[in-house]
Chain A
Amino acid sequence: MKLLGGGIIIFFRPWGLSDLFGLPAEQGKSLPKDYNAFLSIGVDGTVSCFTGKVEMGQGIITSLAQMMADELNVPFEKVKMVMGDTDLCPWDQGTWGSLSTRVFGPYMRAAAAEARAVLLSLASVQLGLPVSQLEVNAGIISDTLDASHSVSYAQLTQGKKIEKYLDIKPSVEDYTRFACVGKSHKRSDAILKVTGEAKYTGDFRLPGMVFARILRPPSHGARLKTVDYSGAAQMEGVQVLREGDMVAVLHENRDKADQAMVKIKAEYTFNEMPVNDKTIFEWMLKADTEAEVLRQSGDLEAGRKLSVKIIESEFHDPYVAHAAIETHSALACFEGGKMTVWVSTQSPFGLQDSIARDLDLKPEKVRVITPFVGGGFGGKGAFRQGMEAAQLARMAGKPVMLVWTRDEEFFLDTFHPAGVVKIRSGTDAAGLIKLWDYHLYFAGPRGSETIYNVPHVRTTVYSRKKAAAAVHPFATGAWRAPNNNTNTFAREVQIDIMAAAAGIDPLEFRLKNLKDEKMIACLQAVARKFGYVTGTKGQGRGVGIAVGIDAGTWVAHMAEVKVDTLTGQVQVLRIACAQDMGLCVNPEGATIQMEGCITMGLGYALTEEVLFEGGDILNRGFDRYDIPRFSSLPEIETLILDRQDKAPQGGGEPAIVAIGAVIANAIYSASGARLYRMPMTPERVLQALGKG
């Protein structure tokens, strides 16, 4: 305990914010202990809520504010989110994994709970009343016996940081007392976004700013041999910068920078991997791998003996692009020894560290500011453009704006990795699954849980040996629910195959083999919502089912599709989804995420695939890489199970994981075509029908 000049007593707490919720210690260690890092109260009573998370469409600008409003007991309208600024916000690992609500949320709530308790104790002194006789409503603390005795948060703090801490642990609000959480709120950023006022990275302007274009090799693995940039350098106002293999042109006018780029002549040496989008799966299976048994229970041989039907399948999932509509962008300014970078990234603190390391600056000399991000989906976890802009800004001595072209976006993306899944599974005479031998090659294990109640299980993951040559010809990374789409596709199609082989309705087969009550509830809920009737099909129509688990959330889907068996064309007519995500903070926001997941999922299921030859990406544009459009839309029905007494879970990714499988299974139901490879293009449907 020590006394400061202002006469405010500071206690050192024996506990951290993480203790309130039993949160993982790693994050607890890195997030600040001081609740002031998470919020500040302005003179007008506005609560600024600080988070290292970014808003990229997922809606946490609204839902985190709802949580802060309830925990601090202030009106929702008074909460202002300050996001993704490394100078202002508490450290954060990055905005991914649907972690904002389920992991950051509890820390923020704990901070708000402590701030509320501190404010109550300050009010107690000021009003001369015991805390037990005080209540808070809309940021005003008043005497429960006489409401005219009151003081507001703003009066207590007078715009200053609260220099007081507690030595006893405050409790967070009980969910039954939430006024804001659990109710639908419209997006709080909507007005800014419909008027064009919302600022994204590319929208910032600084005096003396120039636009940069960087020379890219024609393919991954190609190295610059010779370069002649005299033509570009002769253009009025063009500055050419070179460092090692990086060649860039700068001009105050973007059109001119584009024109200068075309004038650069470069030759390359090529070192292509002998693989393309058709041979990649064989390439992976032949690669020098190391196997790791991820989970094992029972004994596979015993499972085999118990099985009367054994099914072996191999599933292929290709590389997929993120294709956010905002390309990777960054504006960097190096002034007075400090690097400031506005950037579209999901990882502002990661970029801060990387720039500090690369440019040999102290981390506090690097400020990363993340304005609105125009879509991330995992692809903006990578922040190469921020590093490039920072380097160019320092070389040029003026602010540099770098906005990747669509071509660069499709070339430099960290793609969803291709992968292979092999499953050998068996059922007994009663249709119970007894054997599940799962082999996963090069895709990550997220979503590879068996889910079903199987006594004899083994999951083996094959990845590149440390010393072995690279398998992916280019960078790969997280793509909305990383790898879960691959694993759920394989598992749920295999389940469908087993159900068909056992002659059991696929819904009944699943229910029969599930012990997981959350999943059973989701399946039953979606069946009711969808109006599922066993065996409905005909006229080229069919119904599919699939389930999945991601980010702590359980989902079950049903889809109806129409298959034209002459052309192989698949039309998805409707998709229903039931989701158990624990307490749902903003039902409207969560519903929008479910709709978004379902719509985006249509792409990887039906049309999206990165075509490549060695390190060259062949379909670098929206004319050749086909993302879902208005004409792709099915009717979408969503249902969120009422689980208010449970901790909130992830919402940005779960509803996408089963879309590939639910459509594959519906295609089978409609046409008898069994597909093992995404995307399920008309050609592949015809092939599966034996017409290819």
Chain B
Amino acid sequence: MTQPPWRRERREHFPGVPAWSLATSRLAPEEFGVSRLEDVTREWAWGGDGAGEGGAGRADGAGVRVCVLDTGVDAAHPRVGGLERSLVVADGDDLTVVDCDPVDPVGHGTACAGVIRSIAPAVSLTSVRVLTDGRSGSGAALLAGLRWAVEEGFDLVNLSLSTTRSQYLPALHELADQAYFRRCLLVASAHNMPVVSFPWTFSSVISVASHDEPDPMTYYYNPAPPAEFLARGVRVPVAWRRGREIRSTGNSFAAPHITGICALILSRHPWMTPFQLKSVLYLAASNVVTSKGGAHVRA
């Protein structure tokens, strides 16, 4: 390998350039050099995928607190299975975060929360509504909601959204770093559009794009960032309004898969730091683990 993928020249953000996902069912992820930390396996990380019928022996996310920053979450939806708390960034100049009814006028946040619950059934979910009424959310509300979540000490924050407004870049950057050092890990969906947006492009967060395989626990490490991981994002069964379900495709639904998997890891290893967690995610990724004959592993 002459040049490692992370030294590769970045693609320009230009309209007409395909974005970040990879159809891994048709195209193998590229090979790259793997630095093994030998003892870390999927079994070690969360109990493994083959754990008994009904997931016995597998971690379930218990004791881990996740905040979903989105359009709100409908707590009554069977896929969501209840919320610890439901809040909204209030209109007005001071942008305070206040308690509200656990409803979701749009349905996007409910879909994301349902995916997290499907991976980590015992996780505690809290919703903060930062996107309202179908309008593209104001970056100010996103910033206020995220600040609240970081200060509140959640273990994980799911961000299936991003802002394109550069005026919020410095404040978001600082907040993402703050979150990292407070061991509040931000899991953000990569923007599948040829535009510049954040916080998913920050190195302090875990950024997720889609692969197109049906297994919810299959995910890949992407050695050519900024999208660091590829998780299930095609035809995902998700919650829809009024207790119903549809199948949906998009990076919005890939991120909550990784959030759920992080919750499993943290429930088994509660003292893990963000950089450890990211390393474990890497080591247990489907294209890094050696259990399948080490096809992707180069010494």
Does A associate with B in a complex? no
